[in-house]
Structure 1
Amino acid sequence: MAEKKQLRIGMVGYKFMGRAHSHAYRDAAFYFDPQVEPVLQAICGRNEEKVKEAAEKFGWNSYETDWRELIKRDDIDLIDIVTPNNNHAEIAIAAAEAGKHVFCEKPLALTLEQSQRMLEAVEKNKVLHMINHNYRFAPAIQFAKKLIEDGRLGKIYHIRATYLQDWIMDPQFPLVWRLNKDVSGSGSHGDLAAHSIDLARFLVGEFKEVTGILETFIKQRPLVEDSDGLSGTASSDEVGDVKVDDASVFIARFTNGAIGTFEATRFAGGNRNGNRFEINGEKGSIRWDVEHMNNLEVYFHDDEPGIQGFRTITCTEEIHPYAGAYWPAGHIIGYEHTFINLVMELLNGIEQGYSPSPNFYDGVKNQAVLEAVEQSSQTKQWVDISDVIQNLEPVTKK
């Protein structure tokens, strides 16, 4: 048997998403048969003690404390960026210029301008690229995409999407990096609405125009001493200003005539990770909720009168995308498997020489919608997406 091509990975960052990505690389071959073997070559973080511990726990061969040194290494083929948002552009551009493929967390950058420079860099240097929108890769979402593409819903009229969390409702919750505009770029809007925007583009189509508002409910918070993932420890009684949104609400028109409503908030008590949407078309509707991610609710208008209504499909049959690689029908998979499915697409792209979707093109498109909503919140007017960004041509064959 011929040896498989290796993809030697260097990852910058090691906390929440670092763990998710590491697990996906390690388990991809357990469920699938990738023709490219991911090698966990080196992990990078500023705190030597913690990054060394992460390297040992997650199974990385080595570690670095400076991402610049990581990029210089000639035993690295792909740079995986799981850092806070303010580092994405600098690291991605440097990696592309060094001839490394790039896999980056979302949102792609702090600003649309940064994201465009990232796309220009990977295209100019002819390296492959992908952005992590893992929710696309739940089998139920992929099956929903198939239903829409097969015309089962007909012309799409509506999408209403919400992404609701509640983890910062306590006014004494500290000013972690996700609440620092210089580091995150925005609050719930870029963190949560970015996922809803990507799913809407994937399932419904391109945005045409938006109008919306951003709101910050807690204006000041205790400064942070230490943070890990979504938690943090307050340093003292000293406080800092919160300059990102706690919630965003906007409505949208799509280029195909559909309309949509979007809400993202970290102030919806009782919602730990309420990523949900409903799409209505002329022939039927679908609903999805990540907290029940294996299930897709489906309604078809042509069902027999008297038995019409939403039915729940458990998307674990072999016919459902990715599901056949895991367990027998009815044996559900979890959040971590969406990353494995995404990594498989990344490995397939590396093998075949194309940038799988969602890639930096999608990241720029998503960033344009995010920025248009921010502009609308400031001007209190509709904003046309074409006024924010010139049309881009897709860079992938998929």
Structure 2
Amino acid sequence: MKVGIVGASFARAAYLPALRHVPGAEVVALASGRIESARSAATEFGIEHAYDDWQAMLANHDLDLVLIATPTDLHAPITLAALAKGAHVVCEKPTAMDAGEAKAMLDAAEAAGRLHMVDHELRFNPNRARVADMIAYGDLGEIRHVNIANIGASWANPASRPKGDWWSLSEHGGGRLGANGSHQVDMLRWWLGPVASVVGQALVVVPDRKDKATGEAWTATADDLAYFTLEMASGALAQVFMSGVAANNIGNLTQVFGSKGTIILDNENEKLLFAKAGGSFEDITIADPNSGLPGLNKGVWNVSVVGGLREMAAAIVENRPLARGATFHDGLANQHVLDAVKLSTRTRAWVDLPAEACK
């Protein structure tokens, strides 16, 4: 299976270590915006071809699978080009700049008969899968509300980001809403079903910044703080608060409240706790069997990628649909929610999602 990757940073951190544990996968080419980054990653992982032009990479190789880990504004054009060349696609989150791009990606993949996945890798984490099963089997009863808080300090210092950092620029699709909010939305839809209505804000709290190396002033335009409430089609409410401008890292805490019990999941220690109504919390954590694989970088994100890439590779080899994971259908539904948060920011009002997003 010939694999090409666009984007060296996440490839080096997650994709390339994971692909060493995907049977039959051979990375033949890697492209990055800087040739130095592409060559460095290619040398480290024994990849023959390195490019600073993704279009040249696609033109020069017949690839079975293309992995896309670039700034968000490049997701749609690279996806469409890869599909046109006959490749299956795994694209990083957020899916696209808006729902229009996400729908174009989905339509092109379906028309080409290619497999498509958005890298919401937490769907392959055993603890989050257990929560999904417990909700589906009724162990928590009727889900009434969910609270998720993700608090960090990585954007707090005005000199913490380099000038031109795409994560801080709205024109490139940066911001906490896309970076972390897309994962939270996908997880909530996976657990609870469709989203009916949205209210929230995506805000730039620290716009005035200085390059961390040169001290040169520049302006951040992408949100460093975002929060939203989702009214699910089931009637459950889910609240998500994400900040990158706190003075201290608090981490990510997820709480699920049902009529028969409560779940607490802490990213800091990856402990999954469950209490039946009126009872005490018990540790029901499941260890990820992939966490001990050699060469993987630590962290739930890097480990969970293994499961996602194995599933995509197996589906390609077996000529079958994906059995697990977020497809471009999910990517479009998630994008409708992110777009609604941005609209709610402007209107300061609830936004009802279109009917097709509530299926």
Flag whether TM exceeds 0.5 (same fold). yes
- 2:282 corresponds to: 311
Alignment partners' CA distance in 1, 2:291 and 2:120: 21
- Determine the structure 1 residue equivalent to 2:309: 343
Instruction: Report the equivalent of 2:205.
Output: 217
Q: Alpha-carbon deviation of 1:18?
A: 4.0
Structure 2: give runs of 5+ residues left out of the alignment.
293-297
**Out of 107, 110, 115, which is 1:123 matched to?**
110
Aligned partner of 2:13 in structure 1 is: 19
Please give the secondary structure, in 2, of the residue aligned with 1:75. Answer: coil
Question: What per-residue deviation string (whole Å, max 9, x for no partner) do you get for residues 274-328 of structure 1?
Answer: 23211111111111122222x2111112xxx7xx211112312xxxxxx45666x
Residue 219 of structure 1: CA displacement? 2.0
**2:124, 2:325 within 8 Å by CA — same for their partners in 1?**
no
Distance change (3 Å), C-alpha of 1:74 and 1:244: closer
Q: Does 1:187 align with 2:175?
A: yes
Deviation of the 1:49 alpha carbon: 2.9
Contact 2:72 2:174 in 1 (8 A): no
Map 1:1-398; keep pairs closer than 5 Å. 7-29=1-23, 37-173=24-160, 174-175=162-163, 176-183=165-172, 185-222=173-210, 224=211, 233-237=212-216, 239-271=217-249, 274-293=251-270, 295-301=271-277, 308-316=279-287, 323-324=288-289, 334-335=299-300, 336-352=302-318, 353-355=320-322, 356-386=324-354, 390-391=356-357
Asked if structure 2 preserves the Cα contact closer than 8 Å seen for 1:18 and 1:82, the reply is no
Structure 2 Cα separation of the partners of residues 89 and 69 of structure 1: 17
What per-residue deviation string (whole Å, max 9, x for no partner) do you get for residues 187-237 of structure 1? Answer: 111111111111111111211101112222112212x5xxxxxxxx44443
Equivalent position SS for 1:195: helix
TM-score, scaled relative to structure 1: 0.83
Q: C-alpha displacement at 1:166, in angstroms?
A: 1.0
Alignment-mate amino acid for residue 3 of structure 2: I
Number of matched residues? 350
| Residue-by-residue CA offset, 1:104-132 (whole Å, 9 max, x unaligned) | 11001112211111111111111111111
**How far 1:20 moved relative to its partner?**
0.6
Identity %: 29
Match for 1:269: what amino acid? A
- Tell me how large the CA RMSD over aligned residues is: 2.1
Distance in 1, Cα, partners of 2:321 & 2:46? 28
Deviations 1:149-169 (A, max 9, x none): 221112111111122221111
Contact 2:194 2:357 in 1 (8 A): no
Q: Distance in 1 between matches of 2:28 and 2:232?
A: 43
